[in-house]
Protein backbone atom coordinates (compact mmCIF):
# COMPACT_ATOMS: atom_id res chain seq x y z
CA UNK A 1 0.00 0.00 0.00
CA UNK A 2 1.37 3.40 -0.97
CA UNK A 3 1.91 6.07 1.68
CA UNK A 4 0.29 9.44 1.04
CA UNK A 5 2.32 12.62 0.76
CA UNK A 6 0.67 13.99 3.92
CA UNK A 7 1.57 10.83 5.85
CA UNK A 8 5.20 11.29 4.77
CA UNK A 9 5.07 14.92 5.93
CA UNK A 10 3.50 13.93 9.26
CA UNK A 11 6.21 11.33 9.82
CA UNK A 12 8.92 13.86 8.93
CA UNK A 13 7.51 16.40 11.41
CA UNK A 14 7.30 13.79 14.19
CA UNK A 15 10.88 12.69 13.45
CA UNK A 16 12.05 16.33 13.44
CA UNK A 17 10.47 16.93 16.86
CA UNK A 18 11.77 13.64 18.27
CA UNK A 19 15.30 14.56 17.23
CA UNK A 20 15.17 17.95 18.97
CA UNK A 21 13.10 17.41 22.12
CA UNK A 22 13.81 14.70 24.68
CA UNK A 23 10.53 12.84 24.81
CA UNK A 24 8.64 9.69 25.71
CA UNK A 25 6.73 9.58 22.45
CA UNK A 26 4.93 11.77 19.95
CA UNK A 27 1.26 11.31 19.14
CA UNK A 28 -0.24 12.67 15.94
CA UNK A 29 -3.92 13.27 15.33
CA UNK A 30 -6.13 15.49 13.21
CA UNK A 31 -7.75 18.58 14.72
CA UNK A 32 -10.77 19.03 12.51
CA UNK A 33 -11.93 22.14 14.40
CA UNK A 34 -8.73 24.03 13.54
CA UNK A 35 -8.14 22.26 10.19
CA UNK A 36 -4.73 21.25 11.48
CA UNK A 37 -2.48 18.36 12.41
CA UNK A 38 -1.80 18.07 16.13
CA UNK A 39 1.49 16.73 17.50
CA UNK A 40 1.55 15.96 21.22
CA UNK A 41 5.09 15.52 22.52
CA UNK A 42 5.19 13.52 25.76
CA UNK A 43 7.88 14.79 28.12
CA UNK A 44 8.49 13.80 31.75
CA UNK A 45 5.44 14.77 33.84
CA UNK A 46 3.89 16.84 31.03
CA UNK A 47 3.27 17.23 27.30
CA UNK A 48 3.88 19.86 24.63
CA UNK A 49 1.34 20.62 21.92
CA UNK A 50 2.06 21.72 18.35
CA UNK A 51 -0.63 22.29 15.73
CA UNK A 52 0.27 22.79 12.08
CA UNK A 53 -2.41 23.99 9.69
CA UNK A 54 -3.50 21.78 6.80
CA UNK A 55 -2.77 24.68 4.46
CA UNK A 56 0.84 24.99 5.69
CA UNK A 57 1.41 21.26 5.28
CA UNK A 58 -0.23 21.20 1.83
CA UNK A 59 1.69 24.26 0.60
CA UNK A 60 5.19 23.06 1.54
CA UNK A 61 7.42 20.19 0.49
CA UNK A 62 8.98 18.22 3.36
CA UNK A 63 12.35 19.97 3.08
CA UNK A 64 10.79 23.45 3.08
CA UNK A 65 8.38 22.55 5.87
CA UNK A 66 11.20 21.38 8.17
CA UNK A 67 13.38 24.33 7.17
CA UNK A 68 10.63 26.74 8.23
CA UNK A 69 10.00 24.92 11.52
CA UNK A 70 13.72 25.15 12.20
CA UNK A 71 13.86 28.84 11.24
CA UNK A 72 11.09 29.61 13.72
CA UNK A 73 12.84 27.37 16.32
CA UNK A 74 9.60 25.52 17.04
CA UNK A 75 11.17 23.02 19.47
CA UNK A 76 12.41 25.89 21.69
CA UNK A 77 9.00 27.59 21.54
CA UNK A 78 7.32 24.36 22.64
CA UNK A 79 9.71 23.79 25.54
CA UNK A 80 9.51 27.40 26.78
CA UNK A 81 5.92 27.08 27.99
CA UNK A 82 3.95 23.83 28.16
CA UNK A 83 0.79 25.76 29.10
CA UNK A 84 0.35 27.04 25.57
CA UNK A 85 -0.27 25.50 22.18
CA UNK A 86 2.12 26.49 19.42
CA UNK A 87 0.18 26.93 16.17
CA UNK A 88 2.01 27.09 12.84
CA UNK A 89 0.39 28.35 9.65
CA UNK A 90 1.24 30.22 6.48
CA UNK A 91 0.92 33.48 8.48
CA UNK A 92 3.61 32.39 10.95
CA UNK A 93 3.49 31.23 14.56
CA UNK A 94 0.71 31.94 17.01
CA UNK A 95 0.03 30.80 20.55
CA UNK A 96 -3.17 29.52 22.16
CA UNK A 97 -3.81 28.81 25.83
CA UNK A 98 -4.28 25.14 26.66
CA UNK A 99 -7.65 24.52 28.22
| 20-31 confidence digits (pLDDT tens) | 999 999 999 999
Distance CA(62)–CA(45), nearest Å, equals 31
SS3 at position 32: coil
Are 27 and 40 in contact by the 8 Å Cβ rule? The answer is: yes
Q: Which of 42, 63, 52 is nearest to 90 (CA)?
A: 52
pTM of the model: 0.93
pLDDT at 90 over 60: yes
Q: How far is CA 85 from the centre of its chain?
A: 10
Left if phi > 0, otherwise alpha if psi is -120 to 50, otherwise beta: which for 6?
Answer: alpha
pLDDT at 34 over 80: yes
Distance CA(8)–CA(89), nearest Å, equals 18
Distance CA(50)–CA(93), nearest Å, equals 10
Segment 55-75 mean pLDDT: 96
Q: Say what the pLDDT of residue 1 is.
A: 47
Residue 3's pLDDT band (cuts 50, 70, 90) = low
Amino acid sequence: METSVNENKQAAIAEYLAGRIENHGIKHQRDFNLCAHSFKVQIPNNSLLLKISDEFIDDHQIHDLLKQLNKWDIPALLVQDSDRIVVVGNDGVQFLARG
